[in-house]
A and B are shown apart, each in its own frame.
Chain A
Amino acid sequence: MDNIILEAKHINKYFHDPVGIKVLNDITFKIMKEEFVSVIGKSGCGKSTLLYILSTMDTDFEGDLLIDNVSLVDKKDKQLAQIRNKKIGFIFQFHYLLNEFSVLQNVMLPGLKLAEFSEKEIEQRAMEKLAMLDIKQLASKRANQLSGGEKQRVAIARALINDPDIIMGDEPTGNLDKKNREIVFDIFKRLAQEFHQSLLIVTHDTTLAEIANRTIEMEDGRIIKQ
């Protein structure tokens, strides 16, 4: 039991607008520590919806969600924000960097929010992450001066800054060309194999799904294979 990092229990989700539709139907699964799980399925099958529920950003659902064996149902906005900050690293399809900040500052931001280390240490850790992703030389550049692939790597560094229990990705390679996609694949592979990072990646990129230890396949709001 101690190895479970994330557990979803009978999650149901409805969209009420414009008409009541059940988008997630009795979703139950577990993710172990150090496991690389990918979620695949056709567009509209509810995989992104599920991811946002798992990431604690969407709280409008039925069922129970546990991260690190703590139930997140009925937690307050502030507590959920703390959990997102400390335990979850998020990578989106779009990079969502703050253009007003430098690359280094963007990476440091969640770390500064957590404030577990001093600013100096956070800066050093951020540099380590950037070095690990081979973009150390971009540290002082502004976010809007980077190419798409570089931006996505910065976003990955940002997700890693607080050493999260789990990294979640929503189509992290969806917007990238082939070359950059391969770079990102390599990064995920390294994260899983060298750093034993738990990963949960939603994608319809089959190559990405192949690197994963386990693939969860969804259709019409249900898990059909896991």
Chain B
Amino acid sequence: MNYKLIISIAKSLLLARWRQTMVAAIGVTFSITMFIALLSFMTGLNDLLDGLILNRTPHIRLFNEIKPKEIQPISIADNYKNHYHFISSIKSENGRQDIYNSAAVIKAVNEDTRVLGLAPKITTQVFYNDGTVDITGIVNGIDVDEENKLFHFSDYIIGGNTMDIKNIPNSIILGKPLAEKLHIAIGDIVQVITVKSDRFSLKVVGLFQSGVREFDKTQGFASISTTQKLMGKANNYLTDIQIKLKDINEAPAIAKEYAEKFGTDAEDIQTANAQFETGSFIRTLISYAVGITLLIVAGFGIYNILNMLIYEKMDSIAILKATGFSGKDVKAVFIFIALTIGISGGTLGLVLGFSLANIIDQVPFNTASIPTVTTYPVNYDLNIYLIAALFSLITTYLAGLLPARKASKVDPVVIIRGK
């Protein structure tokens, strides 16, 4: 096939109806622009909302839950082996909350190649004391370096210096609403009463805001050693080991494996936060549905223009066929017209979509709950652009295919004799 000739014919037909062609191309441009802007914004928002929870949530958490023993003594007793046991009023045992042999567990997990990293943690209940008022709360003993690396801890610190809880002994970072309740500012001392009624004075070195106010109202963060001191425990006492994996999808399987291997409870992120995944999936699905609908509508525009062009240029098609152009050549001409509209409109759409996403990215978006965010969140994922480009090609090709096939089937005899 002589492509140069096909292209020059297509070009002349395009130019003969350049206004309509431009309208069709603008339709594609508009739909691609909106598709990209919509998806950039929507997935950006999704990532932000998911990140709010998921970034701070370990993929697997190893801990010991307070619960009744699954195997009660009577089940093991030989005398009652073949009996059905009715046991009422089972109580949880006074088990240890810390992870047994934690140093060995940490070593084993660190050696696992599927693991990105781990952060040990202690959680304990305390009372924050302010004069006559005691506020129930939690002190989290954390390894600041690992928390920063794995869970972006410092992103949520809105005052003071994160590293101070590691460097200054007996220091604490408080949730901002909690600090407000206690009338405490950075540099002040907060009284903490442990569950064993020991009283400690800790220096407040920072304020923390996660975006979930109810959560922030109770939280305090101290170093692991400070927390161990608070609880009067040895330096191998850890209640949680938070693990981040290289592939989040492996979490349920690995959690199960660890639970058996280390004899602890293991909770994976999918179980702990199932609702977030569902939410973001649905939001993304809706955005794609809207975007693709836009593209299909643009496709109908192209279909219309080409159909009109074919009726208008019926004589030209007939004469091309009479002078030796085959149906295939004629089809190629119209497919080429469709793809030209698609590619030119689509390319412009990609550029405008990127610009629009950029503009959205500049719009101020201040929310007290997410201190790290100052403008609307936008995702510049290359995949969105690739999908948009691919879909614009596919829809314009399909929109061109039907009219092109019609043109290729034009019978020159019918047209020429009809005159």
A→B interface (CB under 8 Å) = 48, 52, 55, 57-58, 77-78, 81-82, 84-86, 90, 92-94, 96-101, 109-110, 112-115, 158, 162, 170
Contact B13 A100 (CB under 8 A): yes
- Chain B residues 1 to 43 lying within 8 A of chain A, measured CB to CB, are 2, 4-5, 9, 12-13, 15-16
Partner of B2, one of A52, A77, A115: A115
Instruction: Indicate whether A84 sits within 8 Å of B419 (C-beta atoms), given known contacts A57-B412, A77-B327, A98-B316.
Output: no
- Contacts A84-B322, A84-B323 known; A113 to B419 CB distance under 8 Å? no
Contact indicator per residue, chain B 302-334, by CB within 8 Å of chain A (1) or not (0):
000000000000011011111111111100000
Q: Is B390 at the interface (CB under 8 A from chain A)?
A: no
Given A96-B319, A98-B319, A100-B16: A84 in contact with B2 (beta carbons within 8 A): no
Interface string of B102-118 (1 = CB under 8 A from A): 00000000000000000
Given contacts A52-B413, A57-B413, A101 and B324 within 8 Å (CB-CB): no
A48, A90, A93, A100: the one within 8 Å of B322 (CB): A90
Q: How far is the CA of A132 from the CA of B193 in the complex (A)?
A: 112
Cβ of B66 within 8 Å of any chain A Cβ, yes or no, is no
Pairwise interchain contact A52-B417, C-beta atoms closer than 8 A: yes
State whether B417 touches A113 (Cβ < 8 A).
no
Q: Are B322 and A55 in contact (CB under 8 A)?
A: yes
Instruction: State whether A113 and B2 are in contact (beta carbons under 8 Å apart), knowing that A84-B322, A90-B323, A98-B12 are contacts in the complex.
Output: yes
CA distance A206 to B322 in the complex (A): 27
Closest B residue to A158 using CB positions = B323
The CA of A96 and the CA of B417, in the complex, are separated in Å by 12
Contact A113:B324 (CB < 8 A) given known A52-B417, A58-B413, A100-B16: yes
Question: Please, which residues of chain B bring their CB within 8 A of the CB of A57?
Answer: 321-322, 411-413
| Chain A residues within 8 Å of B363, by CB | none
A101 touching B326 in the complex, CB below 8 Å, given contacts A96-B416, A113-B5: no
Known: A52-B413, A96-B416, A101-B12. A84 touches B324 (CB 8 A): yes
Which residues of B (397-419) have their CB < 8 Å from a CB of A?
A: 411-413, 416-417, 419
Contact A112 B5 (CB under 8 A): yes
From B2, B322, B411, B412, name the one whose CB has the most chain A CB atoms within 10 angstroms.
B322
A81: B residues at CB distance < 8 A: 321, 324-327, 329
Q: List 10 A-B contacts (CB under 8 A).
A: A52-B416, A78-B327, A81-B324, A82-B324, A82-B326, A96-B315, A96-B318, A101-B12, A109-B320, A113-B324
Q: How far is the CA of A114 from the CA of B320 in the complex (A)?
A: 12
- Min C-beta distance of B119 to chain A, whole Å: 70
Tell me, in angstroms, the Cα distance from A93 to B319 when the chains sit together.
12
Q: How far is the CA of A113 from the CA of B321 in the complex (A)?
A: 11
Query: In the complex, which of the residues B325, B327, B328, B419 contacts A93, with contact meaning CB atoms closer than 8 Å?
Result: B419
> Once the chains are docked, how many angstroms separate the CA of A94 from the CA of B324?
18
A97 to chain B, nearest CB (A): 8
**How many chain B residues have a CB neighbour from A under 8 Å?**
28
- Minimal beta-carbon separation of A151 from chain B (angstroms): 12
Main secondary structure of the interface of B (DSSP, over half): helix
- Residues in chain A near residue B16, CB distance under 8 A: 99-100
Closest CB in chain B relative to A59 CB, distance in Å: 10
Contacts of B322 in A (CB 8 A): 55, 57, 84, 90, 92, 96
Complex interface: chain B residues within 8 A of A112 (CB): 2, 4-5
**Nearest B residue to A78, CB-CB:** B326
A58 CB, nearest partner CB in chain B, Å: 5
Contacts of B417 in A (CB 8 A): 48, 52
How far is it, in angstroms, between the C-alpha of A115 and the C-alpha of B324 when the chains are bound?
12
A86 touches B324 (CB 8 A): yes
> B329 and A113: CB pair below 8 A?
yes
In the bound complex, how far is the Cα of B13 from the Cα of A111, in angstroms? 19
Chain B positions 206-262 with a Cβ under 8 Å from a chain A Cβ: none
In addition to A82-B324, A85-B324, A109-B323, 19 A-B residue pairs with Cβ atoms within 8 Å of each other are A52-B417, A55-B322, A57-B411, A57-B413, A58-B413, A81-B321, A81-B327, A82-B326, A85-B323, A90-B322, A92-B416, A94-B416, A96-B318, A98-B320, A99-B16, A112-B2, A113-B324, A113-B325, A113-B329
For A90, A93, A98, A158, which residue has the most chain B Cβ atoms within 10 angstroms?
A: A98
Q: Which residues of B contact A94 (CB under 8 A)?
A: 416, 419
* A78 in contact with B328 given A57-B322, A92-B416, A112-B2 (CB within 8 Å): yes
The 10 A-B pairs with the shortest beta carbon distances in the complex, nearest first, are A85-B324, A81-B326, A100-B12, A96-B319, A110-B323, A78-B326, A84-B324, A112-B5, A100-B16, A52-B413
Q: How far is the CB of A102 from chain B (nearest CB, A)?
A: 10
Q: Which residue of B lies closest to A175 (CB)?
A: B419
Cβ–Cβ contact A114 & B12, under 8 A:
no
Q: How many Å lie between the Cα of A54 and that of B4 in the bound state?
A: 30
Determine how close the nearest CB of chain B comes to the CB of A146; give it in whole angstroms.
16
Closest residue of chain B to A98, judged by CB?
A: B316
| Closest-CB distance, A71 to chain B (whole angstroms) | 19
